Copies of this chain bind each other. A is one copy, B any other.
């Protein structure tokens, strides 16, 4: 048997991938990261504003406990639904919002994985899923991959991309099986109004529609009070969230879902099927964060608020960059129409000419925008933004 070069299979080869295989798009910001890292391997400096990868020092106790667990060789398998103590700890923490929560209402999983897990557990091929635009690229990636039918509802930039009752009415006109709602929002930073969210759940109950509420950035809301859907009770409501952003540990890949027991059991079976379990040592480390969720997130969100306004001051030096001030998180979603460039050219040219990596709006469903993440090293972020202003001059 002779050996041929494995590399030389052409892209238009006869490989008969499945419909899912063909529909894979991945997350655009990871493609930007790959490009940026290739430039870095050539010795170039890159300003990383593409990924929401916080560079603040994480709580020392999370790092230290992870290390202790490693030294203790806790490198075996764990329960697929997550460590019992972790589930219990989160149930206790969130019982302030819903007093009936127990560990059986919580499952530990990677927050990004939960998106596809839930679409797949809820929807069959062709089912309708509503996304409010702009929307986090993983929702598109998950929906593409799972072959569901996405109904896009574009929010109004003139209202700061706020969700309105009118948007919700439009969403239900499509008769969706599932609606994703993401307050505080990535990429816009918008925090949605309580009465609008209550209206959403009321209608969902009437229409028997599933709701996934992604509350990853809830605790970083510095310009508006955040309202959690966990305050409401609905059997087809799933809250998902993450430790990545509030504790600056995205590499831990630790998030969680809160829902009724039956859904939580399904997610546990899904995790068992897909990845068996999460590491014990990262869970034991992250578990140390449970007792300091409020303390640490309130400390960190003040830092983001300050940096947010410093970033806005820099971006305001250009008249070609249009954006709204975020209520939460560490992203600014910038309309670039006045630069005369489309988002892909903008991002490619910016990276090649000025070494600044940002994410094209297309991947959020809004091609005339780019997203900058200001959670990296403070100096790098500000220098990067100054370069953007120079680039569009």
Q: Which residues of A contact B (CB under 8 A)?
A: 1-7, 9-11, 13-21, 24-27, 30-31, 33-34, 37, 41, 51, 53-55, 57-58, 63, 66-67, 70-71, 73-81, 84, 98-102, 104-105, 110, 112-113, 116, 120-125, 127, 138, 141-142, 144-145, 177, 198, 201, 208, 231-233, 235-236, 248-253, 259-263, 266, 268-270, 272-282
Contact = CB atoms under 8 A, between A and B. Distances in A.
A251 B279 contact: yes
A66 B291 CA distance: 25
16 contacts: A1-B233, A3-B233, A7-B260, A10-B262, A15-B236, A16-B208, A18-B124, A20-B120, A21-B122, A26-B268, A30-B272, A34-B81, A67-B71, A141-B272, A253-B279, A274-B274
How many copies of this chain sit in the oligomeric assembly? 2
Contacts of A14: 208
Given A26-B273, A276-B30, A75 B58 contact: yes
B67 A98 contact: no
**Chain A residues touching B, majority SS:** loop
Given A9-B235, A18-B122, A121-B21, A75 B276 contact: no
A201 B3 CA distance: 13
Nearest to A26: B272
A17 B75 contact: no
A92 B33 CA distance: 24
A55 to B, nearest CB: 7
A329 to B, nearest CB: 16
Nearest to A267: B24
Contacts of A261: 6-7, 9
Contacts of A67: 67, 70-71
A238 B297 CA distance: 44
Contacts of A270: 24, 26, 145
Given A79-B33, A105-B7, A138 B13 contact: no
* Best-buried of A5, A142, A145 by chain B (most CB within 10 Å): A5
A53 B41 contact: no
B63 A235 contact: no
Contacts of A55: 76
Contact of A266 (B24, B41, B177): B24
A342 to B, nearest CB: 23
A65 to B, nearest CB: 10
A6 B282 contact: no
* Best-buried of A6, A18, A98, A101 by chain B (most CB within 10 Å): A6
Contacts of A272: 26-27, 30-31, 141
Contacts of A6: 98, 100-101, 105, 233, 235, 259-261
Contacts of A235: 6, 9, 13, 15
Contacts of A141: 272-273
